[in-house]
Each structure stands twice: as C-alpha cells, then as structure tokens.
C-alpha cells in the first residue's frame, strides 16, 4: 500500500472499561502496524480518560450535585456515607490519584495511618485480618515495612468505595472492568442495548461524550476505529459512536476487537449500523488496509475483507479472500500518544501473583499468533485468534521488545498469548540473554512437560517473574475429556519447577464441566489444596464453565454427554449456549465453596483443613490420597 497523505488520519480509541494500570494493547498494535504502512495513525485511551475525569475534584463535585437532586430516601448507605464525608473525599481525591500514578510517594505514610482517607464499606474487608493482639491487621501481608504497597491497597479500597457510590447514585451498570456487560454478553437481540442507548445521558455518559468529542477535535480523523475486547466495553463503544455520528456524520467509524470476533460473527441486526459503518472480523490488519483503499477510491466495496456493512437496510458480510499479514510483518506496537504516566497501579488483592493484573505498567506483547495446541474442548478453537498459529523469530521479538523499551522507558512485559510455546520462549530467553537485554516478563502457558527444571531456570534468568496456566478441573478423567494433554501429576512437577526457579504460578481452574460430579469437584479441590500446600502454585481462580458455540463441546455436545438447549433466534450476539448435563449437579452452589476455599488458600489459610469444611452442606469425602502430590514430586514423570 502506498504512503498516505497527512490529510488522511486514522484515530483508534480504547472504550471504557478495560484496565486502569496499563493500556489495552489493541490500539497500540493497530497504530504501530498502520504507521509501518505509511498511514497517519493516532490513538486515545478513553477508558483511562473517563476514569480520571470522574474520579477528580470536578467529577466528585458533579456527582455530589446529582445526589443533591435526589430525594434522601433514594440514597443507599454508601451514598449517605459519601455525602457525610464529602468534604474529605473532595480534599483527598487528587492526592490519592497522584499517589496511585506513582507520584508523591511520601503520602503513603498518611494513608497507612488510617486517618487520612474517608472509609466506606469496602474497608470492611480488612476486618478479616484483625490481629488478635491488637496489632496491625495487615502485618501478615506487608510485614513491618511494605509501606507503599499497604498504602496502595488502602487507596484502592477508597476508589472502590467511590465506584460503589457512582453505581448507586448515577449508573447501576458502572464497574471498573465489567461495565454494563449484561447488555451485550450473548444477547440474541439488540433490543436491551438499543433501549439503553435511547435513554437520556447520565453523568457517566455525558462525561464520555465530552471526552470523545474532545479527542475527535484534537485529531480530526477521517476514520475512527473502536476496538472492543470484552462485553464490558460494548455499551461505551456504542455511546462513543453515537456521539461522533451526531456531531461529525462525515467521519467513518469501524468496530472490531475480541467481542466482535467472538460474538457478532452471525450479525444480522441493521440497527448496529446506525452507529458503525463497518464491522471487521478477526485480525484487523488486512481488513483495515482494504477499508482504507476503499475509502480512497482504490478498491471497490465488493473487495472489502471480512467486513459487515449495511446495504438497502440489510446486513451483508463481504469477504474478498486475501492472505492475512504475517505475524512477523505486523510491525511493532507503539504506545505513542497514550499518557503512560497517568495509569494507576492498583492493589486489589494482597496475593503477590494476583496483583500483576492490576498493578504496574506492563507493555503487552504477543510471542506468537494463535495457539500451538488448539485442542482444548472448552476453547474457541475454530476461531482465527486460536486456530491460525504463526510465530516470529526470537530476533524479531527482541527487536520489538527493545524498540518498546526505548519508546516507553518501561521494561515490564506481559506476553498475552493464549499459550506461549515452550520452544519460542526458550529461543526468546536465549536471545534476551545473548543481547543482555534486561526485562521483567510474565505470560500464559500450558503446563506441559517441555517446561523442565532447566528451562524454567533459563526463563527465570531471562527475566520471567510469573506464569499462569490452565489446570481447569484437577481431575485426570476430565483433563483427558477436555483434551488438555496434561495430567495432575505432570502439572504438579511443572509448577514446582517454576516455583523452585523463583517464578510465581497462577492456575486457572474450572468447575461445572460436562459430566463433572460432586465427587469430581471435591477431589479437584483436594488436588488444589495439595498444590498450594506443596508450594507448586501461589494463586488461582475458579471459573464457571461456559459452553460456547465455537468450542468442541458446543459443536459436538453428544461427545461430552450433554444436550444443548435451543437458542432463540439470534440477530446480535451469539456465544454462550446452555446445556443439559445428566448429572444434574448444582454447580453454582459448589462454586461458592470453591471460591471461598481458594481465596483462603491464596492467603495461606486453611491448608491443613479437610476440604469438606469449605462446603456448607454435606459432600462426599475425597478419594484422593492426602499426600498424592508430595509423592508425585518425589518421583520422576
């Protein structure tokens, strides 16, 4: 593609809400790619901008004014507490935000004194850690020192309190991450979202509209790209498009991202195109090049690539087949234009592994496109982001790493692969060491036997500080049914090798998989208890299994012993599908106990207890030998 004239500009935006500690990488990827092709491309993080505007003195004043206009009996206990402490909130919000952005570190002493910040309901979580001797309840987590981290945890609770007030008083859908996601997650029709978008603007909507129009005025783009990675960013994405269409109908707006790629593949709702001119599927590089050529009169509409459009009131999918841009040729992501010094390092959970998701400014990078395994029966293996596996040389990856460090000044990297390949990580580690490039990195892997103690140590030496991986249901029968390609004992040996190398380990866990019995669930929790007890894992999270239409379970349910529930007619989002499991187990009831148990395990509590104590109802005794994992670690696999 020939270089563009400066008059043609592409603006990519991140809609609320994604992350607050680091930019979501989609705009950085696409902006870097477009610039490598000579396109004048810029980017804005409207998620961060919205948060910083709402949680400022001016934002709290606006919130206070809205509350004052409400009848007192309509105010929740959280809102009443905010009103009673309003002046203190007003006085503390700016210094707290500055502190969480990495400035004014001396404020930590005052925050930890527990007399500076106004405290609401979120601070009740600290009561769990009350010290029986009357000492510091957080001493177990932070010791005698740890002042900055302790202060960040308290400041995070303070922000969560304010988010609760905003939700109670202004927008019941507001969340820092899962913002209004119920309007879009697997919604068969557009109606719930359409009704929300037709409603009068609330304070959050008005603020987002103002920020959107300011970004458009600043950059004056001809093409606006809105990337929606999660259902929790869909509502705001449509509000952004709505504002731009009303004020600048000449600007072309395109929607893409993980949500579109997963849930809108069968879109037939024409009203979506009242907001967006184009929707693109899967990797965005090739569809965008085709769209740019079309906008410049160099390509007909019939030669668009993987794009939805509206023609004569009907949705049409156009896919002129052209090869995708090779992963090795997509260019280096750029964070130019994003305010890297304004992101917030939050500390929600005290577990040292869990904090990585919300604490610190991580450069997000992909080691390889897609998944090299692509067999797991619960995964969307039929979609491009999983099925099309492509790598790049270690030299290319380290070139990108060094360019990003030079641009951002940050040496922390989060590799966001579905599962980073062991061979690629080994080569990457060797290249980093050969060049003496010092970074800290973490990412997602499969717990496969290729990760020997020697490789784990090499990864640690190259800067690896943590890894996460799917253990799913800790049951060899179910792991085999899932086609995970690992066993519980193998997971134990691999995770222990990482831990022994000084690398933190997080396990993704699952419950409610087809044919999973209560006995399976109790046994899985016993395996998890032993993995924590033996120091194999430091963190974990139990997810409820959801069957999707793109996964092997959704495509061949009979192979997994379940029957799918019929879906209603779908014109908008399609992903999750209900199923009938002949076991009839109440997994939601079991899930509450699983989550309580693992929360305590992550804090070193209850590891010696019988796992049945976590369930508030009778469950069978585990069939797993109490020292099964210890014995597995004592033998070679």
Q: Give tens-digit pLDDT for 62-103.
A: 999 999 999 998 899 999 999 999 999 999 999 999 999 999
SS3 208: helix
Tell me what percent of the chain is helix, strand and coil, each rounded to the nearest 5: 45, 15, 40
In 3D space, the residue among 4, 572, 6, 9 whose CA is nearest the CA of residue 248 turns out to be 9
Give the Cα separation of 629 and 448 in Å (integer): 16
Phi/psi class of residue 433: alpha, beta or left (left: φ > 0; alpha: ψ in -120 to 50)? Answer: alpha
HSE value, Cβ hemisphere, 13 Å, CA-based, for 219 = 24
Does the pTM surpass 0.85? The reply is: yes
Q: What is the 3-state secondary structure (H, E, C) of 98-158?
A: HHHCCCCCCHHHHHHCCCCCCCCHHHHHHHHHCCCCCCCCCHHHHCCCCHHHHHHHHHHHH
How large is the angle between the packed helices 488-500 and 518-533, nearest 10 degrees?
20
Architecture of the domain made up of 349-634: Alpha-Beta Horseshoe (3.80)
**pLDDT above 70 as % of the chain:** 96
Q: Give tens-digit pLDDT for 25-65.
A: 999 999 999 999 999 999 999 999 999 999 999 999 999 99
**Parts of the chain belonging to CATH 3.80.30.30:** 349-634
Number of neighbouring beta carbons within 10 Å of residue 620: 12
Residue 130 has pLDDT above 60, yes or no: no
Q: Give tens-digit pLDDT for 244-292.
A: 999 999 999 999 999 999 999 999 999 999 999 999 999 999 999 999 9
Give the Cα separation of 540 and 530 in Å (integer): 13
Give the Cα separation of 369 and 286 in Å (integer): 15
As to burial, measured by CB atoms within 10 angstroms (0-12 exposed, 13-18 middle, 19+ buried), residue 192 is middle
Give the Cα separation of 359 and 176 in Å (integer): 14
Per residue in 82-92, is it b (16+ CB within 10 Å) or e — as a string? Answer: bbebbeebeeb
Q: Give tens-digit pLDDT for 375-402.
A: 788 787 777 767 777 888 999 999 999 9
In 3D space, the residue among 445, 281, 471 whose CA is nearest the CA of residue 372 turns out to be 445
């Amino acid at each position: 593609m020939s270089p563009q004239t400066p008059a043609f500009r592409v603006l990519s935006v991140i809609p609320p809400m994604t992350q607050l500690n680091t930019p979501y990488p989609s705009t950085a990827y696409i902006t870097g790619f477009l610039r490598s092709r000579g396109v004048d491309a810029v980017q804005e993080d409207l998620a961060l901008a919205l948060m910083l505007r709402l949680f400022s003195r001016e934002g709290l004043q606006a919130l206070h004014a809205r509350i004052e206009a409400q009848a007192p009996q309509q105010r929740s206990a959280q809102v009443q507490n905010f009103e009673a402490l309003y002046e203190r909130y007003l006085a503390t919000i700016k210094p707290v935000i500055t502190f969480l952005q990495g400035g004014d570190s001396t404020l930590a002493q005052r925050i930890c004194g527990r007399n500076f910040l106004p405290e609401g309901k979120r601070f009740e979580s600290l009561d769990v850690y009350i010290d029986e001797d009357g000492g510091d309840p957080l001493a177990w987590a932070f010791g005698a020192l740890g002042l900055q981290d302790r202060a960040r945890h308290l400041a995070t609770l303070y922000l969560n309190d304010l988010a609760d007030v905003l939700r109670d008083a202004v927008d019941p859908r507001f969340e820092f991450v899962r913002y209004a996601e119920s309007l879009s997650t697997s919604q068969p029709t557009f109606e719930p979202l359409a009704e929300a978008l037709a409603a009068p603007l609330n304070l959050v909507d008005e603020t987002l509209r103002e920020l959107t129009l300011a970004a458009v005025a600043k950059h004056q783009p001809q093409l606006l790209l809105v990337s929606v990675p999660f259902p929790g960013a869909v509502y705001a994405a449509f509000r952004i498009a709505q504002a731009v269409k009303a004020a600048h109908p000449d600007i072309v707006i395109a929607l893409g991202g993980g949500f579109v790629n997963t849930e809108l593949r069968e879109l037939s709702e024409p009203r979506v195109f009242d907001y967006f001119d184009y929707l693109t599927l899967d990797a965005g590089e090739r569809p965008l090049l085709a769209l740019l050529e079309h906008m410049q009169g160099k390509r007909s509409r019939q030669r668009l690539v993987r794009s939805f459009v509206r023609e004569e009131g009907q949705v049409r999918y156009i896919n002129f087949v052209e090869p995708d841009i090779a992963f090795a040729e997509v260019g280096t992501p750029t964070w130019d234009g994003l305010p890297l010094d304004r992101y917030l390092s939050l500390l929600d959970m005290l577990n040292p592994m869990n904090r990585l998701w919300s604490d610190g400014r991580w450069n997000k990078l992909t080691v390889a496109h897609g998944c090299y395994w692509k067999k797991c029966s619960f995964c969307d293996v039929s979609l491009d982001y999983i099925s099309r596996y492509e790598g790049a040389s270690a030299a290319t990856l380290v070139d990108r790493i060094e360019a990003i460090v030079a641009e951002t000044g940050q040496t922390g990297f989060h590799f966001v692969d579905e599962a980073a390949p062991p061979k690629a990580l080994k080569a990457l580690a060797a290249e980093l060491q050969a060049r003496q490039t010092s970074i800290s990195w973490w990412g997602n892997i499969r717990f496969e036997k290729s990760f020997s103690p020697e490789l784990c140590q090499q990864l640690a030496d190259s800067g690896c500080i943590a890894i996460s991986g799917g253990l799913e249901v800790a049951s060899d029968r179910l792991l085999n049914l899932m086609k995970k390609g690992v066993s519980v004992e193998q997971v134990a040996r691999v995770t222990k090798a990482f831990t022994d190398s000084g690398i933190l380990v997080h396990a993704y866990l699952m419950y409610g998989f087809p044919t999973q019995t209560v006995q399976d669930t109790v046994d899985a929790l016993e395996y998890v208890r032993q993995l924590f007890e033996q120091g194999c894992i430091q963190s974990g999270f139990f997810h409820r299994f959801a069957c999707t239409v793109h996964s092997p379970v959704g495509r061949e349910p009979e192979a997994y012993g379940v029957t799918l529930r019929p879906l209603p007619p779908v014109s908008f989002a399609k992903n999750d599908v209900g199923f009938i499991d002949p076991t009839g187990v109440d997994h939601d009831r079991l899930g509450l106990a699983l989550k309580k148990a693992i929360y305590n395990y992550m804090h070193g509590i209850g590891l010696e207890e019988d796992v049945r104590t976590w369930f508030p109802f009778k469950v069978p005794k585990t069939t797993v030998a109490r020292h099964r994992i210890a014995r597995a670690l004592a033998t070679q696999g």
